[in-house]
Amino acid sequence: MAEQNERRLFGRQRRANSDTPRNAGRYVVKTNAEEDAQLRARAVVAGVTVPRFLVEAGMNANVETSTERKQTIAELFALSRTLGTVANNVNQLARYANTEGRFPAEAEGVVAEYRDLSARIDETIRRLAGA
């Protein structure tokens, strides 16, 4: 009896009863041997069963799939290429301004492009940070 109470204090505890029916959904997840071993190991570290681990992981708002990460990385590469183009344009404008002694009117388009690119970079960083 004392051992059971000690286990409840320091180990897993039973999940609280829910007001909603438990038979609302049942999912079958098929894994290969490597995935099964990884899931079991992560569940042991978390101190829960594999089904409980999957539910908690799936319900976590901060979950990011590999597809989402690949899309974000692709967007960062595109932003990097665009940033290089804008930097080249700024260098050309600076050279022109230094040579001619005036700033060209067409530079407003580059400034607008820079602001748009800056906003996209900020948004991508926020998304990566999970904010």
Q: Which residue, chain included where needed, has tokens 């990566």?
A: 128
- 130 pLDDT higher than 70: no
Task: Please count the residues of the chain.
Answer: 131
Q: Which of 9-18, 31-40, 77-86 has the highest mean pLDDT?
A: 31-40
Judge whether residue 3 has pLDDT over 60.
no
Q: Report the pLDDT value the prediction gives residue 38, as an integer from 0 to 100.
A: 93
Half-sphere exposure of 16 (CA within 13 A, CB side): 2
Residue 78 predicted with pLDDT over 70: yes
Q: At what angle do helices 33-46 and 50-59 cross, to 10 degrees?
A: 80
Q: List Cα–Cα distances, 104 to 17, 32, 95, 123, in angstroms.
A: 70, 62, 11, 30
Q: What gap in Å lies between CA 39 and CA 124, rounded to an integer?
A: 30
> Taking the model in full, what pTM does it have?
0.43
Inter-residue contact 97 to 104 (CB < 8 Å): yes
Pair of tokens at residue 69: 């990460």
